[in-house]
Structure 1
């Protein structure tokens, strides 16, 4: 089934330059998130996956998102795994994680 998606995703990736919040961008981000989640789960155990995934995607460039989205279709390799780790350890991503990803776990409930 994934082989059928490759031509469709290729067309969408081409169109993604047309607008940041368009359908192509949303689909690429969703596919990229599906690629990022397992890497975060393996490399950063215990990190809340959804907020951490959002932080990684929000701090990735458009080209990086497309590369990760392609990996979701063609298969995750060492290069894409390293890219996820690189994005996850950027200062802006760490700041996002501290603000949005981990703060609910760090705040004490009164």
Structure 2
């Protein structure tokens, strides 16, 4: 039985490339931007749902499936936002439990 030696890890080139691409795009991928994007998705999907409901209620909608699609999109975006919030709270609570 032989033991394979541990090799030194070389720096990952693709991480450097990703960092360079992010700097050129001037985009932030921090939690605040992710959370604000999720909130704006909820607002947009709720607005679309309200518009589809109005069109359906007034008889202006020619396709009835668009109301169901808008409703599902709104529900999924709310579920995603709630999941993000729950995971953020779990992470915060876990950090608070760490003994230094």
TM over 0.5: no
The structure having more radius of gyration, on CA atoms, is 2
* TM-score, length of structure 2 as denominator length: 0.27
**Structure 1 or 2: larger helix share?**
1
